[in-house]
Amino acid sequence: MPPIDEKVIVQRIDELLATQVQGELEGYSAVNEALQGTLTVLEAIHGRGSQHQATLLQVVDSAHGKQTQLWYNFVKYVWPAV
């Protein structure tokens, strides 16, 4: 595995933190994009299959299991975890 470029990781984290989440479809899309980016950052820092990734994926699974609409669940439950 190549060495991690800390500057690139910090820049990506800043981009993820700047994600705007509003509206139904747009909010779901933004959260999903931020989720994927966060999983990638976690993998780069902690390695594939880390406890950090597993915890975040548990939140996603929980959101899928709720009775309310998926976009709402992602904005309400996944977004704070991302």
- Summarize pLDDT for 53-64 with one digit per residue, the tens: 999 999 999 999
pLDDT > 90 in the chain, percent: 83
Q: Does position 69 have pLDDT exceeding 90, yes or no? A: yes
Q: What is the pTM assigned to this prediction? A: 0.86
Predicted local distance difference test score (pLDDT) of residue 23:
81
Secondary structure (3-state) at 73: helix
Residues 25 and 61: their CA atoms lie apart, in Å, by: 19
Residue-wise pLDDT tens digits, 16-66: 999 998 888 788 999 999 999 999 999 999 999 999 999 999 999 999 999
Query: CA 66 → CA 25, 51, 62, 80, distances in Å?
Result: 18, 23, 7, 16
| Residue burial 1-16, b: 16+ Cβ < 10 Å; e: rest | eeeeeeeeeeebeeeb
